[in-house]
Every structure is written in structure tokens, then in C-alpha cells.
Amino acid sequence: MNTLVFTPTWNEADNIERLVREIFSVIPNCDILVVDDLSPDGTGDIVESMRNEFPHLHILHREGPRGRGWAGIAGYIWGLDHGARRIIEMDADFSHQPRFIPDILRALENADMVIGSRYVPGGQDLRPGRHRHMISRFAGRYQQWMFKTDITDCTSGFRGYRCDVLERIGVRQLTTWGPAILSDVLYRVIQHRCSIVEVPIVFPDRERGESTLTWRILVEGFWNVAKLRIRGCPSISESSR
């Protein structure tokens, strides 16, 4: 498997079919993995019903407590176990537009990790309302400062990874339940001195369905970054002993 595009889903029934079709029309040779936490709106059934048409479409029905982080870890491990060479990770709500995947893949030819960025020249955040821009900007700058990195869009979940890098940074040992998984992975990639490149993306608001963002997620995100700085990552300190 050369390229795996993976998307975590929670109640994305209004988006998932169109997303799958668009991804395959942009990169026909990829595999797609949907990691669904038994969404009550039937997202998983929609994906199952498309599998005859698209043999390279896969789905993981996760049981137990739901979580963006756990779904992410399951997606990375599935990709590694199925021999993917590179993994694209993206949200299912069309904030991450499939038309930017080729730019990410191109940049991945010369980098270990690629981030689709709203803040490099050419990038844009089109969501309405100033407060969401401010929260994203602040969270990004906080991570930039804490992780001592030049990356401008640390919180972006539209990313590409080389799989040998995911293995090297120890994604199999991650345990983060929520979206803070994105900072865990970024911190590990930085600590392993892997190369990271940002490519511009246009980031519109979610078109359909409901956001899962809550105050709890925001607070845990900030706390998780502080913990990473204070305690480091267990597997990194073990491997460097």
C-alpha cells in the first residue's frame, strides 16, 4: 500500500460519501480508511455500503469509549500493519479539502511530515467569526512557543507522514483519548529531529454536521502541551537511554 488517507468520524453521515468520492477522484490509487466510533447517525453503514464500489475503501468500527485521539492511534497502527508507506490524516467535515492532498504528497517526497497550514503564505482560514480564529491562532502560537518550533499551524489536523517516521516516534505507545493526539505526534516528530514542511491550505468552516469541539477539549489540549514539556514522552526518554 503506497498511500493511505485516513479520516476519523463521529456522526459524519452528511459528509462521508462525498468525501470518499472526492478523495478517490483526486488520488485514484490511494487506499482510504475511515475510523468510526459506531456513530449513531449511521456513518459506518454508509461506508460499508460503498465498499463494493470501492475495493480500496476500508473501515474500522471502533467499540468502547469514543475519542478523536484513540481513533487516530487506531488509524496510524492500521496503516503501519498494512504496509502503508505514507499516511494522510484529515477531518471528514470538508474543512480539510481533498484538492490539497496532492500538494501534501508532493511535499512529503522531501520531508518526514507535512502540515496543511492556514498561516503560511497562500493559506487561509475562511471560518466566520473572529473568536474561532483567535482561539486557533493562540493555541498554535502557544504550541510553537512551548515546542520551540517555527511551525505556524501546530494544531492543524490535515497532515501527511512517512510511515517509517510514525514507527520511529512510537505512535503504537500513544494513549491520548482526544484531539490532543495531534500535539503528541507533533512533539515527538520535533524531538526526533525529523523534517517538517508546511504547505498552504484554505480552511473553510464545516459544511454539514456538528462540531465536536468543547471547552473540555480546549483545556485538555493546553494542559497536554504543558505536560509534554514538563514530563517529555516516555518512549523518547527510554529510547535515548
Ligand X SMILES: Nc1nc2c(ncn2[C@@H]2O[C@H](COP(=O)(O)OP(=O)(O)OP(=O)(O)O)[C@@H](O)[C@H]2O)c(=O)[nH]1
Sites of contact with Mg ion (CB under 5 A)? 91, 93, 95, 206
CB of residue 206 to Mg ion, shortest distance in Å: 5
DSSP letter, residue 157: -
User: What's the rounded Cα separation, in Å, for the pair 136 and 182?
Assistant: 14
Nearer to ligand X, 141 or 192 (CB): 141
Quick one: what does residue 34 bind among Mg ion, ligand X, none, with the CB cut-off 5 to 8 Å set by partner type? none
Least distance in angstroms from the C-beta of 239 to ligand X = 29
Long-range interactions of 104-108: CB distance < 8 A, separation 24+ = 104/158, 104/159, 104/160, 104/199, 105/3, 105/27, 105/160, 107/160, 107/197, 107/199, 108/160, 108/161, 108/162
Q: Which three cell numbers stand for residue 20?
A: 470518499
Nearer to ligand X, 3 or 7 (CB): 7
Name which of ligand X, Mg ion, none residue 68 binds, using a CB cut-off of 5 to 8 Å depending on partner kind.
ligand X
9 binds, among Mg ion, ligand X, none (CB under 5 to 8 A by kind): ligand X
- The option from ligand X, Mg ion, none interacting with 98 (CB < 5 to 8 A, set by class) reads none
C-beta closer to Mg ion: residue 43 or 188: 43
* Minimum CB–partner distance for residue 2 and Mg ion (Å): 27
Strand partners, 59: 34
Phi/psi at 22 (5° precision): -65, -40
* Cα angle value 152/190/145 (rounded, 5°): 45
The nearest distance, CB 74 to ligand X, in angstroms, is 8
> Binds 8, which of Mg ion, ligand X, none (CB < 5 to 8 A, cut-off by type)?
ligand X
Helix (H, G, I), strand (E, B) or coil at 233: coil
Closer by beta carbon to ligand X, 104 or else 194: 104
DSSP string covering 12-44, please? -TTTHHHHHHHHHHH-TT-EEEEEE---TTSHH
Chain residues binding ligand X by CB under 6 A are 7-10, 12, 35-37, 66-68, 71, 91-93, 95, 179, 206, 211-213
Q: Report the nearest approach of Mg ion to the CB of residue 100 (Å).
A: 15
Q: Which residue's CB atom is positioned nearest to ligand X?
A: 211
Would you say 93 or 112 has its CB closer to Mg ion? 93
**What is the rounded distance in angstroms from the CA atom of residue 198 to the CA atom of residue 147?**
16
Which of 118/206 has CB closer to Mg ion? 206
Of 8, 20, 7, residue with least CA distance to 66 = 8
- Smallest distance, ligand X to C-beta of residue 193, A: 28
Q: List the Cα angle 179/185/227 in 5-degree steps.
A: 75
